[in-house]
Amino acid sequence: MTDSSDARASSLHRPTTPEEVAVVVRDAAENGLPLTVVSGGHGPWSHDADPAGIRLELGGLATIEVDGTTVRVGGGAVWGDVATALAAQGLALSSGDTASVGVGGLTLGGGVGWMVRAWGLAVDQLIGAQLVTASGEIVETSAETHPDLFWALRGGGGNFGVVTRFDFAAHPAPGIAFAESVVDGDAAPVLRATRDLLRDAPRELTVTFMDVPPMDPSAPAGARLSAVWAAPEPEALRAALEPVSALDGVTTEVTAPAYRDVLLEMPQPEGEEQQSPPGFLGGNGLYADLDDELIERLLAFRRAYPASVVFLRSLGGAFGDVPQEATPFPARSARWFVLVGAFDLPDLVDDETRAAIDADWQAIRSRRTAEYGNFADTERPDAVPGMFTREAYARLREIKSRWDPQNVFRRNHNIVA
């Protein structure tokens, strides 16, 4: 690399137009520089920009325009702002759980959120996009224009370009109902009852189960079941949850908040607190169902390791209505998303414990249908094929070969042509 190229290394760019994005992409491509694209900043690569490359932050492209039920969202917007803007119009989109998560990263990876059973994934609401390709061209894409590229964006990650605008079809949303059930005691009966309930539940209902230690800043410590009903009908939600809330040790509160208010606010560390999070030993998967053995393995994991997390989200409903081949997202037949793992803390985890955690995780992992890339927080090139079906992965590789043959967009769960 020449001295002049070195002068550009580690450069930070905050564009405000697609044309400015195109200039940066062309620079990265022509000089072979690693390009890190940041939308909301929650992805692993956004915290680990290559010191010899270019960091492209999209926060200056964050406009939100509503035209009827069509919503045009800048590639640097975050979901909390989108939810706020749509609420004023009586609309909503199925997004993630956290207000500060970027629209771009979540959508390109699929987007499992609170309305997944009612409205599907974030990508299931996507009707068009504008992106800057590896050649620096600004392209509009939809089911009618560059349909293969549009298909790849709906779950193939950031492999195909920098999306500067997402076009979504929003849903009428006069309000929601929300329930939180604190679980005191054995969670196994609660999970079995929840599993049975969700097999035939109305698609308005989506639930999560979370059991976290006191150190986790994202949620109160302990086990709890949370539920969203995609309509302002608290009594309907209360009735739907009766098989669970009637169990011993379960205390349920039902409210009718604004949808924006159920999105988590992640703490933003400052000063000395701003440091890398501890390692995470474990992983995630999309599972056909929660049988009794899997439930017991998950709860045994949580009991065995004090600094561990178990997180579940129900799928099915609208998520399962979408044909498998319609998007790259894997396992449309899955009924549950599962995340389980332990924080790698020096005072709690030694080599022997790490080995035990890995063995327990591998037993849980062996039962999954596929891995969900948005929750895979480390770069593991060998794992990328497991984030798609075999047919989708082959198609993604072919599309990659046409739109990014130099692999300019490689700082992601990289699909190599």
Task: Spell out the domains of the chain, with CATH numbers in brackets.
Answer: 1-173 (3.30.465.10), 177-260+276-375 (3.40.462.20)
Measured between alpha carbons, how far is 405 from 171 in angstroms, rounded to an integer? 37
pLDDT under 50 in the chain at which residues? 1-9, 269, 271-274
Residue 378: predicted pLDDT:
78
- pLDDT at 367 (0 to 100): 94
pLDDT reported for residue 217: 62
d(CA 171, CA 221): 33
Q: What is the CB neighbour count within 10 angstroms for residue 292? A: 11
Q: Give the pLDDT confidence score for residue 221 in this predicted structure.
A: 86
d(CA 396, CA 205): 33
Q: Among 104, 167, 160, which residue's Cα sits nearest to residue 130? A: 167
Helix (H, G, I), strand (E, B) or coil at 90: coil
Cβ(206)–Cβ(120) below 8 Å: no
Q: How long a stretch of residues is the chain?
A: 417
Q: 131 - beta bridge partners?
A: 139, 163
Neighbour tally for 351: CB within 10 Å: 7
- In this prediction the pTM is 0.92
User: Starting from the edge strand earliest in sequence, which strands make up the sheet with 64-67, in order?
Assistant: 64-67, 70-74, 162-169, 126-132, 138-141
Give the tokens for residue 56.
Answer: 């492209």
Per-residue pLDDT, 139: 98
What burial letters (b/e) apply to 87-97, b meaning 16+ CB within 10 Å? Answer: beeebbbbbbb
C-alpha count within 13 angstroms, C-beta hemisphere, residue 103 = 31
As a whole number of angstroms, the distance between CA 162 and CA 58 comes to 9
Residue given tokens 């606010």 in the structure block: 265
